[in-house]
A and B are shown apart, each in its own frame.
Chain A
Amino acid sequence: MGDSPSVGPRTNIVLSLGILALCGLGWLATSALPAGLQLDPLGPSYFPRFVLIALAVLALALLVESVRALGRRPTDRAVDSLEPAATPTAREEVMDEDAAWDAAPISYPRMLAVLALSVGYVVLMTDLGYLLSSVLYVVALLLLLRVRNRLAIALCAVGLPAVLFALFGWLLGVPLPGGLLEALVPVG
């Protein structure tokens, strides 16, 4: 499952050009690396360059295939498609759920918001401390994901950070950031 509709040749062309551009940038970066010495004949630049060349070749191949696919009729395009063929699977019993999944629209803003919240959470963790930042994160995330049950939010906001803190911070001894709480309650 997941969001992977068939990717058309135009998209593939853009992708392959992008990869080629990145390979070029990478190559420039490797020229700053020193060459091999007698003790180490290949040097630090050999392998990265090999990988970059391989990537460039593959991207070119993708480009060529996509351009050729552009010039073909749509029916032929499906046959020569580079994408995974839609293989029938033995999952008849979950067809209903698949239908519900396909019917649900994808919300890219929500995904971006989840990403942004997660990044913010990690960044703030050092300053606010693990517990405080986790509580805020859980509340924000649940609200974003359309949970309106106040009791559930409250329970999760307190419960999740507490359990994780007990597991990782206490049981496993990971020094989680103390942040604000630590500043307020100096550990003697």
Chain B
Amino acid sequence: MLESFGLGFSIALRPESLIAMAVGVGWGILGGALPGISGSIAMALLLPLTFGLDTSVALMMLAGVWAGAGYGGSIPAILIKTPGTASAAAAIFDGYELHRQGKTGKAFGISLVTGTIGGLVSVIFLIVLLIPLSRITLAFGPPEYFAVALFGLVIISSLSEQAMLKGLISGFFGLAIAVVGVDPLSAVQRFTFGRLELYEGFELVAVLIGLFAVTEMLTQAGRLAQWRRITDTGTSTAMPTLGELRGVGRATTIGTIVGLIVGVMPGAGQTVASFVAYNEARRWSKHPEQFGKGSLEGVAAPETANNAVQGGDLVPALALGIPGSNSAAIMLAALVLHGLRPGPMLFTTNPEVVYSLFAGLIIVNFLMLAIGFLILRLCMLVVNVPVPYLVTGVLTLVIVGSYSINNSTFDPLVAVAFGAIGYLMNRYGFSPAATVLGLLLGYLVEISMRRSLIMSNVGWAIFVERPIALAFVILSVLTLLYPFLMRWRAARRSRVATTLTEPTG
């Protein structure tokens, strides 16, 4: 094994490999940063360029794009509340808030460093635990997916602790939106009104852009107050201190674990990982009340998770030849295009390809760190732009970005419409974040539930008979009850306090 690694690193450290990886990372960051362009699209765009390259170099370059996009999406998320990729949406909650507090540099720094850590750790797990992890992939069937999706959904209840009813309503609204489209199991059209563009349902990224970016721009346009002028540029570009980095250690660990596990599950995806990581980090944090108000942990967890997914994602791809996501599928496509066959045989037929990929995965994370820091100053030029220019710039960007998802003008209209909806939701106390979760997980929840019941002949017990599914169902119930438990405890404490302070008589 050590010998193979030596071979892998020697390939990865060649000048042409390093250049390819650097180009890949840069391209990935750019693609990730542009709303509407996801990591897998950026990879797909580069695929033709890899034809003439050596297989190893091609894979390493694509791995670079993948890693870069994981970070790139957070750039507009932090700066202009626009998720560059769907998976960066969870970074908005605290990242944008940090930016508004003038701590932009800290947000970016945390995102970069923890993302690198997440990526590196997950690659190490990939290399060391490939076979055991692949067994997890095989253990996940429809009931497990249902249970995990359910677990993701109950996060809604804790997203909106203060105004829970409206938060839940927002979440179910998201589920309702997810229903729109052609039903995959029965091919029946649901709420599509005959529109071709709605056959696949509402495009998640367009809705995300609408609910976050467009809503924010509408709000800004409505007030036309001065954009927060960060007069002390020293503060805004300040990087996180070592103390702060240590402070997010727990969140980073949680993000890594979540990213790795969710990555190993085919079809779950980076976005799910980042939301689950955000919620879990809040649950285990020493300062949960800071989440949503500029908590560094709130940026660390999702950013770590969506980079850690990369390692997990390659487990089913390399061990079983099963691509668990679009990005993994493109990696496998690159293999096929170079005449190789994906799957476990690759280790024996072409070990140099596999091990140089491993080496490359490690190197691209460092490259991402380096390139990320280099462009940071550039990104933060956006900090002091006056409102009219900011609004115009963001709106034009997100409109063309959402157009590019399907080369259709329908998606920009969806984004604009959800911008209005998002504004109204905020105005009346609802939670766009909960709606996003509902939309994200609605499809997975429904399809897994129906498939499970087909498997078990409508035996609902299937969800509690299988151990992994049962575990997640129990976790979901606990998560649901947790806020009630906290409120009950707090209410009891305050009742005790008032009886103590009330004047007698």
A interface residue numbers (CB < 8 A to B): 1-4, 7, 11, 15, 19, 26, 29, 33-34, 37, 39-44, 46-48, 51-52, 54-55, 58-59, 61-62, 65, 82-85, 87, 89-91, 93-94, 97, 100-101, 103-108, 110-111, 114-115, 118-119, 121-123, 125-126, 130, 134, 137-138, 141-142, 145-147, 152, 156, 160-161, 164, 167-168, 172-177
- Asked whether, in the complex, the Cβ of A93 is within 8 Å of the Cβ of B101, the reply is yes
A4 and B429 alpha carbons, distance in the complex (Å): 6
- Asked whether, in the complex, the Cβ of A156 is within 8 Å of the Cβ of B458, the reply is no
Contacts of B224 in A (CB 8 A): 104, 107, 110, 145-146
- Asked whether, in the complex, the Cβ of A121 is within 8 Å of the Cβ of B399, the reply is yes
Contacts of A42 in B (CB 8 A): 449-450, 453, 458
- Asked whether, in the complex, the Cβ of A47 is within 8 Å of the Cβ of B179, the reply is yes
Contacts of B420 in A (CB 8 A): 115
- Asked whether, in the complex, the Cβ of A3 is within 8 Å of the Cβ of B222, the reply is yes
Which residue of B169, B179, B221, B401 contacts A19 across the interface (Cβ within 8 Å)? Answer: B169
B interface residue numbers (CB < 8 A to A): 31, 34, 37, 45, 100-102, 162-163, 165-166, 168-169, 172-173, 175-176, 179, 183, 185-186, 188, 190-191, 214-219, 221-226, 228-229, 289, 293-294, 387-389, 391-393, 395-397, 399-401, 403-404, 407, 409, 412-413, 416, 419-420, 423, 426-429, 445-446, 449-450, 453-454, 457-458
Which residue of B188, B396, B413, B449 contacts A119 across the interface (Cβ within 8 Å)? Answer: B413
- Asked whether, in the complex, the Cβ of A97 is within 8 Å of the Cβ of B226, the reply is yes
A87 and B219 alpha carbons, distance in the complex (Å): 21
Query: From A65, which residue of chain B is reached at the shortest CB distance?
Result: B165
- Asked whether, in the complex, the Cβ of B34 is within 8 Å of the Cβ of A84, the reply is no
Excluding A94-B101, A110-B222, A123-B409, 20 further A-B contacts by CB distance (< 8 Å) are: A1-B100, A15-B428, A34-B188, A43-B186, A44-B190, A58-B169, A61-B165, A90-B293, A94-B100, A103-B225, A111-B218, A115-B218, A122-B413, A125-B409, A130-B400, A145-B391, A145-B392, A146-B224, A156-B392, A172-B37
A61 and B172 alpha carbons, distance in the complex (Å): 14
Contacts of B162 in A (CB 8 A): 83-85
- SS class, residues of chain B in contact with chain A: helix
- Asked whether, in the complex, the Cβ of A114 is within 8 Å of the Cβ of B450, the reply is no
Contacts of A114 in B (CB 8 A): 217-218, 221, 391, 395
A156 and B428 alpha carbons, distance in the complex (Å): 35
Which residue of A40, A89, A172, A176 contacts B454 across the interface (Cβ within 8 Å)? Answer: A40
Contact flag A62-B407 (CB < 8 Å), given A94-B102, A107-B224, A115-B419: no
Which residue of B165, B185, B191 contacts A29 across the interface (Cβ within 8 Å)? Answer: B191
Contacts of B222 in A (CB 8 A): 3, 106-108, 110-111
Contacts of A122 in B (CB 8 A): 399, 403, 409, 412-413, 416
Contact flag A172-B419 (CB < 8 Å), given A34-B186, A85-B162: no
- Asked whether, in the complex, the Cβ of B179 is within 8 Å of the Cβ of A118, the reply is no
Contact flag A160-B169 (CB < 8 Å), given A40-B450, A47-B446: no
Contacts of B223 in A (CB 8 A): 3, 101, 104-107
- SS class, residues of chain A in contact with chain B: helix
Q: How many A-B pairs fall under 8 Å by CB?
A: 211
* 9 chain-A/chain-B pairs, Cβ below 8 angstroms: A40-B450, A43-B186, A82-B429, A97-B228, A107-B223, A115-B420, A137-B396, A164-B400, A174-B403
Closest 9 CB pairs between A and B? Answer: A145-B388, A104-B225, A84-B162, A174-B404, A44-B183, A47-B446, A111-B222, A44-B188, A104-B223
Contact flag A118-B168 (CB < 8 Å), given A4-B429, A41-B453, A125-B409: no
Contacts of A94 in B (CB 8 A): 100-102, 228
A134 and B401 alpha carbons, distance in the complex (Å): 13
- Asked whether, in the complex, the Cβ of B404 is within 8 Å of the Cβ of A172, the reply is yes
Contacts of B423 in A (CB 8 A): 3, 111
Contacts of A84 in B (CB 8 A): 162-163, 429
Query: From A6, which residue of chain B is reached at the shortest CB distance?
Result: B429
Contacts of B449 in A (CB 8 A): 42, 47
Contacts of A164 in B (CB 8 A): 396-397, 400
A7 and B208 alpha carbons, distance in the complex (Å): 25
- Asked whether, in the complex, the Cβ of A7 is within 8 Å of the Cβ of B185, the reply is no
With both chains docked as a complex, state the minimum distance between the C-beta of B76 and any C-beta of chain A, in angstroms.
13
- Asked whether, in the complex, the Cβ of A91 is within 8 Å of the Cβ of B163, the reply is no
Contact flag A168-B401 (CB < 8 Å), given A26-B176, A115-B420: yes
- Asked whether, in the complex, the Cβ of A176 is within 8 Å of the Cβ of B403, the reply is yes
Contacts of A146 in B (CB 8 A): 224, 388
With both chains docked as a complex, state the minimum distance between the C-beta of A94 and any C-beta of chain B, in angstroms.
6
A22 and B407 alpha carbons, distance in the complex (Å): 32
A164 and B402 alpha carbons, distance in the complex (Å): 13
A47 and B146 alpha carbons, distance in the complex (Å): 13
Query: From A91, which residue of chain B is reached at the shortest CB distance?
Result: B101
Contact flag A173-B186 (CB < 8 Å), given A54-B172, A97-B226: no
Contacts of A147 in B (CB 8 A): 388-389
Which residue of A119, A175, A176 contacts B416 across the interface (Cβ within 8 Å)? Answer: A119
- Asked whether, in the complex, the Cβ of B165 is within 8 Å of the Cβ of A62, the reply is yes
A89 and B427 alpha carbons, distance in the complex (Å): 20
A104 and B226 alpha carbons, distance in the complex (Å): 9
A174 and B399 alpha carbons, distance in the complex (Å): 13
Query: From A49, which residue of chain B is reached at the shortest CB distance?
Result: B179
With both chains docked as a complex, state the minimum distance between the C-beta of B161 and any C-beta of chain A, in angstroms.
9
Query: From B180, which residue of chain A is reached at the shortest CB distance?
Result: A48
A172 and B397 alpha carbons, distance in the complex (Å): 14
Contacts of B403 in A (CB 8 A): 122, 125, 168, 174, 176
With both chains docked as a complex, state the minimum distance between the C-beta of B468 and any C-beta of chain A, in angstroms.
22
- Asked whether, in the complex, the Cβ of A110 is within 8 Å of the Cβ of B221, the reply is yes
Contacts of B289 in A (CB 8 A): 87
Contacts of B400 in A (CB 8 A): 130, 134, 164, 168, 174, 176
Which residue of B34, B45, B214, B396 contacts A138 across the interface (Cβ within 8 Å)? Answer: B396
A91 and B427 alpha carbons, distance in the complex (Å): 22
With both chains docked as a complex, state the minimum distance between the C-beta of B134 and any C-beta of chain A, in angstroms.
31
A47 and B399 alpha carbons, distance in the complex (Å): 32
B175, B289, B413, B457 interface centre (most CB from chain A within 10 Å): B175
Contact flag A82-B188 (CB < 8 Å), given A115-B416, A126-B409: no
